[in-house]
């Protein structure tokens, strides 16, 4: 168990402090995606895996980075970032869960703390440079972008790449989380095999994930061997996963192009979930400020699966964006009553109250 690490030189308190310092600057950076719906989903997925981990005594925080590259990374303090590119590249939810579980294992096994502790104290300023690169975002976005491009400031392990032993351990524990969490264990071998092929044939533009996570043929073989011995089970993607991907696609390209792409997908039935496809269309229509068309599609959504919190949140937000705060408040009220713990609805409800001039109620 490589996670049994001495904290003689890097205590748990020091790791938590470093994690908090870096996250303050991540939240201030323009690449941080402040989207409560997507972040809520990612935390729900992450904690579904954490809860079945054999070492789940610590807190985790999952956040999203608005970056098209395929990447995910663990940082000090249980902070795990996932790029939007990974959310869209995963062909199913089990593939996404396999990467998230792998990163959770890096945290539970104290791999980051071990790597930092293994450096002599004279090298610690190199680690601090990551936080300084993010600090630049507050004063000069151009400097911040250059710093991120050159140092991968979002990924602390870029300074200390994971060893093959760490990777094998994260594979093993991540696989266990997949199976215990009810996901398809073949998601891990399928996803990492595709990454390996991309690295082999397109070395100059290899996925960012492989820069800090060395991928070998032995690791791929181990993943495939484990999945081949597992009993076959077909695991359907959750509606949440499909809605999140539709939401991300609606953010791509220009608003008009996003609307056209969403309409064509619905017309040609190019979707795995009609509900998610329509959700994506409404998101794109609101973005394009086509509120009348958006409301017509909202009505279709509400007649189908109106109880899903992401759908109720979008219906209320569409009404608020269209300048009908009374309707928005009605929908937020209904959504909050149906899903009292769903934070995006709570945030939206407060925004609608403020828009209606009811600041005291907010």
Asked whether 78 and 18 are in contact (CB, 8 A), the reply is no
Largest CA distance in the chain: 63
- Does the active-site annotation cover 257? no
- Tell me whether residue 199 is exposed, middle or buried, using C-beta atoms within 10 angstroms of its C-beta: 0 to 12, 13 to 18, 19 or more: middle
As a residue count, the chain comes to: 362
- Residues 352 and 358: their CA atoms lie apart, in Å, by 9
Q: Which residues of 68-79 are buried (b: 16+ CB within 10 A; e: fewer)?
A: eebbbbbbbbbb
- Angle between helices 309-321 and 239-249 in degrees, nearest 10: 30
Q: Which of 201, 212, 251 is nearest to 34 (CA)?
A: 251
Spatial CB neighbours of 278, under 8 Å, sequence gap ≥ 6: 266, 297, 300, 301, 304
The residue from 103, 176, 196, 237 that is catalytic is 103
- Is the distance from CB of 38 to CB of 45 less than 8 angstroms? no
240: annotated active-site residue: no
d(CA 362, CA 179) in angstroms, rounded, equals 43
Q: What is the full DSSP assignment across 230-289?
A: SPP---PPPHHHHHHHHHHHTTSS-HHHHHHHHHHHHHTT--S-HHHHHHHHHHHHHHTT
Distance, CA of 315 to CA of 290 (rounded, Å): 14
State whether residue 148 is helix, strand or coil.
helix
Among 93, 95, 167, 171, the one annotated catalytic:
171
Give me the active site residues, please: 103, 171
């Amino acid at each position: 168990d490589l996670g049994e690490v001495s904290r003689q030189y890097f205590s748990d308190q020091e790791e938590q402090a470093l994690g908090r310092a870096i996250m303050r600057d991540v939240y201030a950076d323009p690449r941080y995606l402040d989207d409560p719906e997507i972040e809520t989903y990612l935390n729900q997925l992450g904690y579904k895996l954490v809860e079945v981990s054999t070492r789940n005594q610590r807190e985790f925080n999952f956040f999203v980075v608005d970056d098209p590259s395929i990447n995910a990374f663990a940082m000090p303090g249980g902070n795990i970032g996932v790029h939007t590119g990974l959310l869209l590249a995963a062909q199913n939810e089990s593939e996404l869960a396999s990467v998230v579980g792998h990163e959770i294992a890096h945290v539970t096994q104290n791999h980051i703390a071990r790597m930092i502790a293994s450096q002599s104290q004279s090298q610690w300023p190199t680690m601090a440079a990551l936080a300084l690169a993010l600090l630049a975002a507050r004063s000069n976005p151009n400097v911040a972008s250059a710093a991120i491009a050159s140092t991968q400031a979002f990924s602390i392990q870029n300074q200390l790449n994971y060893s093959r032993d760490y990777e094998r351990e994260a594979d093993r524990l991540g696989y266990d989380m997949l199976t215990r969490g009810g996901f398809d264990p073949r998601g891990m071998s399928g996803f990492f095999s595709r990454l390996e092929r991309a690295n082999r044939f397109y070395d100059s533009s290899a996925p960012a994930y492989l820069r800090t996570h060395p991928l070998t043929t032995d690791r791929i073989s181990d993943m495939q061997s484990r999945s081949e011995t597992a009993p076959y089970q077909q695991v359907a993607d959750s509606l949440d996963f499909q809605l999140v991907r539709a939401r991300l696609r609606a953010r791509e390209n220009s608003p008009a192009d996003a609307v056209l792409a969403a309409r064509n997908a619905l017309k040609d039935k190019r979707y795995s979930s009609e509900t998610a496809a329509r959700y994506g269309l409404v998101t794109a229509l609101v973005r394009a400020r086509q509120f009348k068309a958006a409301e017509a599609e909202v009505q279709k959504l509400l007649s189908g699966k109106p109880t899903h919190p992401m759908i109720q949140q979008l219906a209320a937000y569409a009404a608020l964006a269209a300048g009908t705060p009374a309707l928005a408040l009605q929908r937020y009220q209904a959504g909050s009553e149906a899903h009292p713990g769903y934070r995006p609805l709570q945030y939206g409800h407060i925004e609608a109250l403020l828009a209606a001039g009811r600041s005291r109620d907010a």
